[in-house]
Structure 1
Amino acid sequence: MSYAHLDAYSRLLRGAHEAAATGRAWPESPRRLIEASWRRSLEAGIDLEGTSAPLVYDLSYIEDIRRAHPLQPLLPLLAETLSDLARQTGHVMIVTDGQGRVLWREGGTAILRRADQIGLADGHQWEEGAVGTNGIGTALATGRPVHVYSEEHLMRVLHVWSCSAAPITDPDSGRVIGCVDVSGTARSLHPATVALVGAAAKLAESRLALRMHERDERLRRRYESLHGRPGVLLSPTGRVICGDPAGRLGDRVPLWDDPDPPGDRIRLPGEIGEHLRMSGQRMILRDGTVGLLEPFSDGYLLRTVPTATPPALTLSFLGEGPPSVALGDRERPLSLRHAEILALLALHQHGLTAEQLSFHVYGDAGNPVTIRAEIHRLRSQLGNAIAAKPYRLACPVEADFLAVRRHLAAADPGALARAYKGPLLPRSESPEIRRARDELEAQVRACLLRHGCPEHLWAYAQTAGGRDDYEVLERLAALPSTDSRSAAARTRLHP
């Protein structure tokens, strides 16, 4: 891009920035990637007048944190690829963890001094939620290499900087574990730098893949030396290496619900080893069987263990009373939010991701982190009745609304009238629950009007939806005047 074009783009950005700062509509928007990042950052409450990225690591631990990070062995490779560029052009090279926390940097004395002033230094965090639009944070948010130029940053203090960054994905866990970035003053950093940074990230990923295959081979040799039927061999992150020829477990066994599992998370000094924490853990597998997880060398062995039929989960969610849940013969306390989650899992038997559940419960305003926290609270009450990855019910389910669906499918008005006690979770504002509630109400009404006798219609007229239903009441009012149901229906029609 020529300097003339840069000047014109800078003027556009300044106008959009002033509008964003005052809450006005943007006269012209920046390019799509930056516009989306600005919107995420503004929703996160970023202060446009902030002066620095926050310091989130105790620097006395930084050497231990570096040594524990999976990118540490690849630093010479990244330095060889990018450090010369940084030194020769007066830029700084940065390597962060998967949450945008700076672990390493290289550059000349002058540029490092300027970087210190904005927190582009060890232990500071550069996620979008911490400092808004920037190369590191936006690369992590989008999962691809990005170049952020000068006024494209949301915080004004960063307008003298430009940066090119690319995320690094661990092939073992499938998660982003770091980001590599080259930053410098605005006009000295060419946008083509993003191609070089992206190539460096891909090279790091290929080395990680090579190391992963070498670890797998060592584990496989140890596994094959065992006698008998040792179980399924898993990597430390739950990847299936061997022992499951039918593929019933899929490519990976979810070991953690935590969004930052131990294979990707940096362990601080004093934390217990993950093998110790995971030893002997029982889990519900995707086919409903129970597995026992035991440490083996650098990975895990997963053995299927016999188990009794788990107790049924009974959900009573129809009608105007409070929703209730029982596991076996024991009733449990239940909030409306937890009832919504259980209803959604019952309606989606193959399971839902945290993102899908969040959308179904909260709509566009949902946050998967909130759903994970709610699931954690639910599991503290219901234990392994809720499985993960995806979230699903891993036990027999008896739900009044599912029974109504079965009676509808069988076109059995008698059973339907007895089972339908009213709308599904009538106080719920969940978009998906509202849709299911309205659909169920419409189907029940149509079936009873088409196939039901006066007894069935009278039962429906006692529910919230049928109490003032004109067509249902007209049918009942037409009964002989000696029938008490006729008098009641006429009273409702003409109060």
Structure 2
Amino acid sequence: MNTSDGTSVDPLERARLLERVHAAVLAGDESPHEPRPVVVESWRRSLEARIDPDRREPPLSFASGRLADIRREHPLARWVPMLRQTLLDAADGTGHVMIITDADGNILWREGDARVCRDADRVLLAEGTRWAESAIGTNAMGTTLATGAPVQIHSAEHLVRAYHSWTCAACPVRDPDTGALLGAVDLSGPLHTMHPALLALVVAGARLVESELRWRLAASDDLLRERNAHHLTESGRDAALLSPSGRIVASTPSARFVPGQRIGLDDSGTVRLDDGEDAEVEPLDGGYLLRVGQPRSRRRPQLSLRLLGDKVPMATVDGVRHELSLRHAEILALLAMHPGGLNAERLALLLHGEQGNPTTVRVEIHRIRNALGQDVVKTRPYRIAADLDSDLHAVREALSRGDAEAAVDHAGLLLPRSESVAIRAERDELLASLRGLALATGSPELLWRFANTDAGRDDLEVLEKARDLMAPDAPQRSVLETRLRLLLEGEP
């Protein structure tokens, strides 16, 4: 059986043909077969680097004593066990060694068949040696790093004759963040072990590592956004969050920023953008904040709170509605009642009494700010920084004016399910003020309206006075009498 380029797939027969090709090409004679283009180009580069085809061994880059430290710092170190399982277990029994190099072609790890490792030691296919094309000529590791593409090199396709008894397949591994080469993954063995599937296997191993690196990069980006997105809105300027490598992870809406674009960073604290404008660079936990220009005057967000009545509490920020949990509604109600702000200790005391935990309050405030926006609730102290309107404020203002009509329009119990001491005290004070104002009016219509709110529905005094003031033939009178009877029958 022949390959698509006409060469035999029998490793030994192909090796004999490649020996004749190697000898003819180097001697300048007519070749019995045209070498593959990737091999021709690699031989050209290797010969231009003055590699002697009769050279016996690669150079030693570092001694074994330095190997542990170099491995520990290399970005592929954590993936060696996964590659071992993927490549060596899959190729078990085929007589191969797995080799992992750095971006310069230095072998950092070599594992596999013990007999093949001994053979490899004899030709210095060993840890600490350098296998770039410029160091030892055409080989799978050096050529894959030179071309940036997967490659298989068999027998006399190696420029140096000492490696004509070997076959190898390698694939580069790139950093998904920067695109830089991290190194190469290789399977090498005696020439009789050559098989087309070896190349697919090393490609699968390299892609698996890159996939894991991409997943870790995405998780790192998500964490950077989660921790620091508030800086974008708080800066008041065009701003971007940068990864440690200077890649734009998130930004304010601006034509000057493109997601994934990379900003060149240095230690100066400033950088000049492509449009010629200077930008400030500030270190953050896990990245950088880049800010351009002078702070803009910003419109304060608009916050509306619905806290009264038995419906689900609601916050509306710039027209966007957010249902609130009871705990978040309690915190926002207390902040609305204390416009000067509260620290965590005071807020915990108002919420839970002496058992309050400031740490729990800080966690809940963090969640509120993530949900509603960093500009809505500020810290140090905790306070509402938006332009606020709420049904709580509306009823309090109506009561302060003595406006019974407006007060009853907003009548409702403040967070009726809340057990917070401060919320309950405010709820009781509002109810007492509201019912007192309603009763003082002597208006049957207003008392009827109040009697149909959750604040006045079960108030015997309100129901009785409303009934007594109603005209005998008013339809509302019979409703009030029925409700009174049911309430009285329900008393013990």
What TM-score do you get using the length of structure 2 for normalisation? Answer: 0.54
Contact 1:182 1:197 in 2 (8 A): yes
Indicate conservation of the 8 Å contact 1:13/1:29, yes or no: no
Where does residue 202 of structure 1 map in the other structure? 207
- Given that 1:282 and 1:293 are in contact with CA atoms closer than 8 Å, whether structure 2 keeps it comes out as yes
The answer to whether the 8 Å contact 2:243/2:287 transfers is: yes
Cα distance in 2 for residues equivalent to 1:178 and 1:186: 24
Partner SS state of residue 207, structure 1: helix
1:249–1:285: 8 Å Cα contact kept in structure 2? Answer: no
2:271 is aligned with 1:283? yes
Does 5-14 or 126-135 show the bigger shift? Answer: 5-14
* C-alpha displacement of 1:25: 6.4
Matches within 5 A, 1:86-101: 86-101=91-106
Q: 1:79 to 1:47 in 2, by over 3 A?
A: same
Q: In 2, Cα distance between the equivalents of 1:152 and 1:60?
A: 33
1:154 lines up with 2:159 in the alignment? yes
Residues 249 and 46 of structure 1: CA distance in aligned 2, closer, same or farther (over 3 Å): farther
- 1:161-212 deviation digits (Å, cap 9, x = unpaired): 0001111111111122121111000011312211111111111111110000
- 2:286 matches 1:298: yes
Q: One-letter code of the match for 1:158?
A: Y
Q: 1:223 to 1:46 in 2, by over 3 A?
A: same
Match of 2:241 in 1: 233
**Contact 1:52-1:117 within 8 A present in 2 as well:** no
Tell me if the contact between 1:169 and 1:176 (Cα under 8 Å) persists in the aligned partners. yes
Q: 2:256 aligns with which of 248, 252, 265?
A: 248
**Unpaired runs of at least 5, structure 2:** 3-7, 295-492
State the shift of 1:216 in Å.
Answer: 0.7
Tell me the distance in 1 between the aligned counterparts of 2:34 and 2:227: 58
2:67 aligned partner: 62
Give SS of 2:234's match.
Answer: coil
For residues 161-240 of structure 1, what are the structure 2 equivalents within 5 Å?
161-226=166-231, 228-229=234-235, 231-240=239-248
Inter-partner Cα distance in structure 2 for 1:6 and 1:115: 19
Look up the SS of the partner of 1:246 in the other structure: coil
Matches for 1:325-340 after TM superposition, within 5 Å = none
Give the 3-state SS of the residue equivalent to 1:295 in structure 2: strand
CA-to-aligned-CA distance 1:272-309 (integer Å, 9 cap, x gap):
xxxxxx43343321111123333222222223368xxx
**1:240 maps to amino acid:** I
**Structure 2 CA distance for partners of 1:196 and 1:296, relative to 1, 3 Å:** same
SS in 2 for 1:61: helix
Verify the 8 A CA contact 2:248 2:263 in the aligned structure 1.
Answer: no
Offset at residue 24 of structure 1 (A) = 5.4
Cα distance in 2 between the residues matched to 1:147 and 1:219: 40
Number of the residue aligned with 1:375: none
Shift in Å, 1:247: 4.8
5+ long unaligned stretches in structure 1 = 257-277, 307-495
Cα distance between partner residues in 2 of 1:4 and 1:76: 32
Q: For residue 39 of structure 2, what is the aligned residue in structure 1? A: 34
Q: How does 1:47-126 map to 2 (within 5 A)?
A: 47-126=52-131
- Aligned to 1:283, the other structure's residue is in SS state strand
> 2:96, 2:46 → 1: CA distance?
26
**Matches of 2:106 and 2:255 in 1, distance apart?**
37
| Shift in CA distance, 247/102, structure 1 to aligned 2, threshold 3 Å | farther
What is aligned with 1:130?
Answer: 135
Q: SS of the counterpart of 1:45? A: coil
| Amino acid in structure 2 at the alignment position of 1:248 | R
Q: Secondary structure at the match of 1:252?
A: coil
**Distance across 2 between alignment mates of 1:64 and 1:46:** 30
For the structure 1 residues 72 and 7, does the alpha-carbon distance in structure 2 shift closer, same or farther, using more than 3 Å as the test?
A: closer
How far apart, CA to CA, are the structure 2 residues paired with 1:72 and 1:207?
13
Separation (CA, whole Å) in 1 of partners of 2:282 and 2:99: 38
RMSD: 2.4
How many residues end up aligned between the 2 structures?
A: 285
Question: How far apart are 1:134 and its partner, in Å?
Answer: 0.8
1:271 match: none
AA matched with 1:168: V
State the alpha-carbon separation in 1 of the partners of residues 45 and 159 from structure 2.
11
Query: What is the letter of the counterpart of residue 256 of structure 2?
Result: R
* DSSP-derived class of the 1:89 partner: coil
Query: In the aligned structure 2, how far is the partner of 1:175 from the partner of 1:13?
Result: 33
Deviation at 1:218, TM superposition (A): 1.1
Structure 1 pair 154–242 and aligned structure 2 pair: CA distance change class (3 A): same
Tell me the percent identity: 43
